[in-house]
Amino acid sequence: MSVRAFFQAATVEDASPPYDNIHLKVFYPAKMSGGELEENRGIVSADPQRAPFKVVIFFNGINCGPEQYQWLAVKLAERGLVVVTFSWIAENLPGMVALTPGIDIKMSVPSMYGKGATASALLTLLKTLERLQLEGVLAGLLDLDHIILGGHSAGGRVAIESADPKFFSQVVAAFAYGAHTAAGQQLGYEAGTILPLPDSLPLLLIGGTCDGVIAKSSHRYGVTWEQATTPMMRTFQEAIAGGRGDSYLLILEGANHFSVSYPFDDTTGRPFLDFPTTQPPEQLRHLIAETIGLFIDAHVFHQTTALEALNQMLVSQNSAIASFERK
């Protein structure tokens, strides 16, 4: 299958200039036709046989460029999804200008947490998708009633915290890599607090045993993690009740905080905190993409074969899987 992408720009209505612009890259299943627009302007039609397209919105980690997740976007688009990555430079914290997934701090404090989405970019992204449904190569081809939220690190956190139909009825599932819901003491929480998740939609959490960024950030939460995976495991155990069989925690043996990003960029963010991987990076990325794809196929497309394959992974002897749980 051919995968193509195009760019869009949008304005965040409640943000102040110059930090009120988001730039999107939208990946989609394409079908080459040899037409005039294709030859002269590089505009390739979407493959209508795969439509209507369910949509994944992917939230990057702080100071992690969206191009680091293009490999994953392409893999998911090959499965018949439209995938949106974006770039937003903003001042989420006073004096800290960064490439951000969009973190709504006011919705993260104790008095407001759980009352609304923490993903401050989400409303703008959803409005942009509505516009794309009306014009351009994806006009009339989007399934805007089935939107999946995904992300990495802080972007993964806002994705899973915002995946609640009470906030946005069109969101139907969420996944995250290297994310947890430990509560920062600087926001007013007690040490060691794990915040609850909406727990109303299918959820996939993925992490690695060599996540040095999480392991070396425990002071933010007033604790010392026993192991790098502790806050992710506690999030799965304490932040959701489960009971539907559609919530998963996959811990990858030898994966680190940036195993989901490629090509690796060590010039921004905090990659210097990370531990080395102990498994081939390409093998880890393959497993990440395959698990996310099966999760979406099973719980959004409701494909029986995908659910069976996902369940088989729960009992597999793959050396790259440290643990895989469902509840």
What are the tens digits of pLDDT across the range 261-298? 999 899 998 899 999 999 999 999 999 999 999 999 99
3-state SS class at 159: helix
| pLDDT tens per residue, range 62-86 | 999 999 999 999 999 999 999 999 9
Asked if residues 255 and 277 have their Cβ atoms less than 8 Å apart, the reply is: yes
CB-CB neighbours of 262 under 10 Å: 17
Domain carrying residue 179: 2-326
Mean pLDDT of the chain: 94
Q: Can you tell me the distance from the alpha carbon of 198 to that of 84, in angstroms, rounded to the nearest whole number?
A: 23
CA–CA separation, 19 and 7 (whole Å): 18
| Bridge pairing between strands 89-93 and 96-99 | antiparallel
Structure tokens of 71?
Answer: 């490999």
Q: What is the pLDDT of residues 144-197, one digit of tens each?
A: 999 999 999 999 999 999 999 999 999 999 999 999 999 999 999 999 999 999
Q: Domain containing 279 — which CATH number?
A: 3.40.50.1820
147: enclosing H helix or E strand: strand 142-152
Q: Taking the model in full, what pTM does it have?
A: 0.96
Alpha-carbon gap, residue 149 to 133, rounded angstroms: 18
pLDDT class of 95 with cuts at 50, 70, 90: confident
Q: Supply the pLDDT for residue 36.
A: 66
Work out whether strand 82-87 and strand 53-59 pair parallel, antiparallel, or are unpaired: parallel
Cα torsion for 312, 201, 228, 57, to the nearest 10°?
A: 100
Counting the structural domains of the chain, the total is 1
* Residues whose CB is less than 8 angstroms from the CB of residue 267 and which lie 6 or more positions away in sequence, other chains included: none
Residues in the chain: 327
